[in-house]
Structure 1
Amino acid sequence: MTQPLVASGLWRRLAIENPDGSGDTSTQVFWLQAGSYYADIRIPADRPAVAEGEIELSNDLLRALARQQGFAGETVAAGELCLWQRWLDFQPPALVPDEGRLEFNGRMLVEYGVHAPYIEHWWYEEDASGHYAAFRLQGECSGMLLIAGGYFMRAIGRAQALPQGMALEYLIEQAAGNRQQLANLLDCEISFGRCDGAPRSWRITHSTLPWLEGDKLFAAGAPDWQGREQLVEPLAETGERLWLRCESTDSGISVFDREAYDA
């Protein structure tokens, strides 16, 4: 059975088959879908741990950070095809669109690349078709805040765009020794975590900025997001962030047909 619309909730990647015949089952990959909007984070299994408060990053850690991937934006479905419009990307912008042909089988999804011959295998970890919201960052940087079921993702892009078609690992090698340039290259946050806890602190479990792991998503605790048109996120030193709602179950908009998916 083929279901062209992607269910809101958490998808976890099981494996990828690359164009060169290699594969990967160890990278931690989470894709959160909230209505028409999505965020995706990909953390290599061999990324070194970062000690709390660590400032000086080793060359090994810099190379590992450069291999991370993640993106966020809007999904556009047409028949069996799905286009992931990347409003922000941890890696430099790609030369071709991110588009795949989707085949569903129960909770399993197989994604076949359209512009590159990869195959990804996904598992539908948690259904959030009746409980999600998507917010977009107001301001100069691109940003998405997604809440779907028991999970969240926050994605905030760089202030300075990277050159299209380049590899982040190469750019970081070229910036060796330039602390400010390295900071600018890595200044893209994609953070993932669970919406639970007592009190409901919403702590980050995975992030492209690993020193954020273990922190609360919002310093003041879990946001009161249901029914809200906007969220104000207080920041410790630089004022606040304003998030404006794009879509939610409260707005009566949903791209997911549960009856068709279960057929």
Structure 2
Amino acid sequence: MNLLELVRRHPNRPSSSVPDWMLGYFKRRAISFANGRTDTATQVCWLQSRNFTIDLRLPLERDQVPARALADYSPDELQILANHEGWEALSHWDGKALSWSDDTSLQLHNRWPEPALLSRIGNCMIEFAPSGAYVEDWRLQPSAPGPLIGLRLIEERDLASGALLHRGGGLIVCGEHAALVLGRPGPIAHDGLDLRDQVARAVGVPERLEALFDFETSVAHGSLEAGFRVTLSTRPERVGAPLLALEGFSYLAEQQQVRQRFERDGRDCERLFSIDTLEPTLAYPQTTEFSADAHAWFERESATLNRYTQSLI
């Protein structure tokens, strides 16, 4: 069956969850550091399911590299790819802070080790680092009401050979937005070196480069009816391509898992997912609640409060 039919026929919402105001696709407007500097340019995407997160961080398009074989990149271009960030991880909410565990990441070390102190007003979600190192301004991206799907990838295999292609990762669909993470098939021996250093050592060794970059985080826009097209990715060749096939899904009730069988590059493949959530419809409102007194104040002072307001995403 296709993914739309799956979510309609087998709705499955977990008993635990982050708050509803945290669900959906957020893009970062700014990060301000304790040193007084602010970055508003880096493209940062956060997609949140009930109990796991997908995150993608890329330079501006003009500073990215074109799609070509890894062996054809210069050392400087390989370092640009090595500084891409993409990951998924379980998320844990304690009522004030969000923390993460059990991650699948392109990077070989944790670049963002602090939990997130979070609060949201309207479409603006503010994140404070407990250390005081930075504060981030996130904006919920608009979407009509639509599905919330969270599937964590257990593994992907070649059905003919049984070869393991990817281990770890996940798929999140939130209305008109979606993201996919495909982890490396196995751990990378890195001797404590980060990805940049590993890539620098692997220049001229195609097999090592392929192993280091055998990972994907992609964000896409579209729908379950028409499909999703990749808009941003750690893999340049994926931009503009379909995020994933939307057919070939089956619901494994006894295991509480989802299986997908599909063809890629002439090979029959199978993905096995654990279920975080399968919800046919969820609203993604740009607004949040506020008290009656605050509403009365806003209406009373609207002549000045609304003087220059606009919707920012």
TM-score normalised to the size of structure 2?
A: 0.69
- Is 1:160 the counterpart of 2:186 in the alignment? yes
**Range 162-171 or range 188-197, more displaced:** 162-171
- Give percent identity, aligned residues only: 23
Residue of structure 1 equivalent to 2:109:
93
Residue of structure 2 equivalent to 1:82:
98
| Mapped partners of 2:250, 2:177: distance in 1 | 14
SS at match of 2:109: coil
- Is 1:236 the counterpart of 2:265 in the alignment? yes
Structure having the higher helix fraction is: 2
SS at match of 1:131: strand
Give the C-alpha shift of residue 95 in structure 1. 8.0
Whether contact under 8 Å (1:37, 1:73) holds in the other structure is yes
Give the C-alpha shift of residue 81 in structure 1. 0.5
**Range 208-217 or range 164-173, more displaced:** 164-173
SS at match of 2:141: strand
1:116-127 aligned within 5 A: 117-126=133-142
Whether contact under 8 Å (1:8, 1:127) holds in the other structure is no
Residue of structure 1 equivalent to 2:301:
none
CA gap 1:52/1:83 in 2 versus in 1, 3 angstroms: same
CA gap 1:68/1:124 in 2 versus in 1, 3 angstroms: same
- Is 1:71 the counterpart of 2:84 in the alignment? no
Whether contact under 8 Å (2:248, 2:261) holds in the other structure is no
Of the three residues 27, 35, 42, the one matched with 2:50 is: 35
- Is 1:22 the counterpart of 2:37 in the alignment? yes
SS at match of 1:174: helix
| Mapped partners of 2:199, 2:277: distance in 1 | 38
Q: What amino acid is the match of 2:72?
A: E
Structure 1 residue runs without a partner (length 5+): none
How many equivalent pairs are there?
A: 254
Q: What amino acid is the match of 2:246?
A: A
Residue of structure 1 equivalent to 2:211:
184
Give the C-alpha shift of residue 191 in structure 1. 0.8
Whose Rg is larger? 2
SS at match of 1:40: strand
SS at match of 1:203: strand
Give the C-alpha shift of residue 250 in structure 1. 3.6
SS at match of 2:227: coil
| Mapped partners of 2:150, 2:46: distance in 1 | 14
**Range 158-167 or range 138-147, more displaced:** 158-167
1:4-45 C-alpha deviation (Å, 9 max, x unpaired): 735221101011124554332111111111222220111111
Residue of structure 1 equivalent to 2:297:
none
TM-score normalised to the size of structure 1?
A: 0.81
SS at match of 2:228: coil
Of the three residues 74, 78, 81, the one matched with 1:62 is: 78
**Range 221-230 or range 43-52, more displaced:** 221-230
- Is 1:11 the counterpart of 2:26 in the alignment? yes
1:92-117 C-alpha deviation (Å, 9 max, x unpaired): 13287441111222211111123672
Structure 2 residue runs without a partner (length 5+): 1-17, 156-163, 291-313
**Range 146-155 or range 95-104, more displaced:** 95-104
Q: What amino acid is the match of 2:52?
A: Y
Residue of structure 1 equivalent to 2:229:
203
Give the C-alpha shift of residue 158 in structure 1. 1.6
CA gap 1:189/1:201 in 2 versus in 1, 3 angstroms: same
Residue of structure 2 equivalent to 1:212:
238
Residue of structure 2 equivalent to 1:171:
198
**Range 119-128 or range 243-252, more displaced:** 243-252
